[in-house]
A and B are shown apart, each in its own frame.
Chain A
Amino acid sequence: MANLKNVTKKTKAQAMGMHSEVLTGRTQQKFFNPDEAENFYYFGTYDVDFNKRTDLDVKDMTAADANKEIDNLMSQGYGTIVIKNPQGKHSIGVGILNKLNLIFEGSLGYFGIGSCDGPIVRINGRVGWSCAENLMAGKVVIEKNAGSCFGAAIRGGDLICKGSVGARTGIDMKGGTIIIGGDAGAFTGFMMQRGRIIILGNVGINLGDSMYDGTIFVGGEIGSYGSDAVDAELTKSDQDWLKRKLKVAEIGENFDVSKMKKIVAGKKLWNYDNLEPTEKKGAI
């Protein structure tokens, strides 16, 4: 166990009363210091040049080998990589933590572009389940359709599907924006905690079920609302934001955003109040 002792308040955080002890001994207490930011090292990232471009044919490669080769190319400074013949393979383009132009000439299988932080990805085909899961930052554009669990648990970035998506889009999302040009399946926005989802087409049953927070915009028909998902007023600033987002996403250029529905969390689920257990059921 770390050795703790009370010390005179020295740092700003300590002065604010956030804590009053420091770790001593071999363990060092560390705080982020902007002056030292240049010394910060993000493991597994590379400085790449967008003008340095190459192709990679993954037809006869396993997903692991393809990912290793992408990593190898980035380590050589390639900033634009075109993947040929992905042919629906799973788990390609994962764990990219730096800026990169990544273009797939074809379709991906499951878990494509998972756990990424920063790349700009364009997929000229479709994607299977759980595309861009845990995306932290960057932009992912899918030209055709996507499977279920699209953008599960994303924290940031823009995720755009120009076609239709399956069920549970944006499940557990904690930030970022998901834009769907076509229709979306059941349980869209299930348990979402933050971020925004835009669906230009129709959406299936149980929209926004058990959502904690965040916003869902729907252009078409809604199959049904999930627990605690409620309508909200579409404001002028919402409409301005939607127009900007759709323009940046190169999707729905002439779409009339003023007729979109806005859905948010009613915040009446048990974790938002002090209701007794018997009353919580009534809230749902």
Chain B
Amino acid sequence: MCGIAGLIHRGKSSKVGHELQGMLQALKHRGEDSTGYALYGDTDGKNFIMRFKVGENVGEGSTSVAEDVSVYDERKKIVDSYLSEMGAKIIKEDRILPYSLRYEIEYNKKDLLEFSQKIESIPGVEILSMGKSLEVIKDLGNAKMVCERYNLDKLVGTHAIGHARMATESGVDIKSAHPFWGYPFSDVSVVHNGQLTNYWNNRRALENKGMRFMSECDSELIAVYLAEKMRDGASLEEGMKESLSGLDGVFTYFVATKDSLGMAKDTMAAKPLVLYESDDLVAMGSEEIAIRSILPQEIDTYDPFDGEVKVWQI
């Protein structure tokens, strides 16, 4: 049992970090092994924001090992040198935690595949997100703890999705935490509640097509599955509709891009989702109390039906 939440403001920006923190904290009883945010902030759109980690925060059942900070320092130096080699210029650098960094970089090539492969060829380094608006922040603990640790409260943007995780299929660590970046597509992120039963079959097929998996978490499959569809020319909504038959199991998931947010629910409708829609705000969560954390007044909400896919634009 995990909790997912999302919101999209239409026609304005808001403190989406603060709002999503409230929504996810209301769902903490659904899991607080780790919490993740995919925030779409207001930027000038010129530079990429790269969130990445050079080590793990190792929790229960993780296949990773705890390492010394000196190892992180060494990896960071290699990342910096690789960026320089690829012609990427670091405009701003924040080392939020010893293992977690945020770089604002100037990089002019559109294809991020080669870039990402180069950076992630460094052992222990993973790009959590790469985009001109998207920032994926995820770590162990509940929403409030992660929000405070990464100072997300003041982040202003248009939309966001997030995940409160109860680890079941894989260990407690950052690499298995949601959201997952839709590698190698800029600004695509995914959160999921459920279990996918054809994970390995799909993973093998996608890896044979050159797609990359960083964890053994079944939810990562959704991000990779959609990325592959989009790579082949499908729109986000088309990819999501195909996923209803391509993915087996029970799921409700959200996908966000630079200017849109979508939801999909499997044909068994086995995982909960409550939606609120108005002209200027769409909010959704595994339980209504998530929406109530930002809209305490009486509102009309509803459950989407089985096999339903919806996409909203900012």
Contact = CB atoms under 8 A, between A and B. Distances in A.
A95 interface: no
A202 to B, nearest CB: 10
A163 B305 CA distance: 13
B289 A186 contact: no
A167 B305 contact: yes
A107 to B, nearest CB: 6
Nearest to B288: A88
Contacts of B288: 88, 107, 109, 126, 128
Interface in B128-162: none
Report the contact-size class of chain B (Cβ under 8 Å from the partner): 20 to 34
A166 interface: yes
Interface in A127-173: 128-129, 144-148, 163-168
Contacts of A118: none
A87 B272 contact: no
A89 B289 contact: yes
Given A88-B292, A205-B267, A148 B272 contact: yes
B269 A144 contact: no
Interface in B263-314: 267-270, 272, 274, 287-289, 291-292, 296, 298-303, 305-307
A250 to B, nearest CB: 20
Q: Looking at chain B's contact residues, is the secondary structure mostly helix, strand, loop, or mixed?
A: loop
B287 A128 contact: yes
Contact of A128 (B267, B269, B274, B305): B274
A243 interface: no
Contacts of A128: 272, 274, 287-288
A277 B220 CA distance: 41
Contact of A204 (B287, B296, B305): B305
Contact of B269 (A106, A146, A183, A186): A186
Interface in A50-94: 87-90
Contacts of B302: 126, 145, 163-164
Contacts of B292: 87-88
B269 A148 contact: yes
Q: Which of A89, A106, A186 has the most CB of B within 10 A?
A: A186
A125 interface: yes
A109 B303 contact: no
Contact of A167 (B268, B274, B301): B268
Contacts of B298: 106-107, 125
Nearest to B268: A186
Given A128-B288, A147-B272, A107 B303 contact: no
B268 A166 contact: no
Given A147-B274, A167-B269, A88 B287 contact: yes
B301 A107 contact: yes
Contacts of A146: 303
A269 to B, nearest CB: 20
Nearest to B285: A88
Contacts of B270: 167
Contacts of B303: 145-148, 165-166, 185
Nearest to B272: A129
Contacts of A167: 268-270, 305-306
Interface of A: 87-90, 106-107, 109-110, 125-126, 128-129, 144-148, 163-168, 183, 185-187, 204-205
Given A167-B270, A187-B269, A205-B307, 16 more contacts: A87-B292, A88-B292, A126-B288, A126-B302, A129-B272, A145-B303, A147-B272, A147-B274, A167-B268, A167-B305, A183-B305, A185-B305, A185-B306, A186-B305, A204-B269, A204-B306
12 contacts: A88-B287, A90-B287, A90-B289, A125-B298, A144-B300, A145-B303, A146-B303, A148-B272, A166-B303, A166-B305, A186-B268, A186-B269
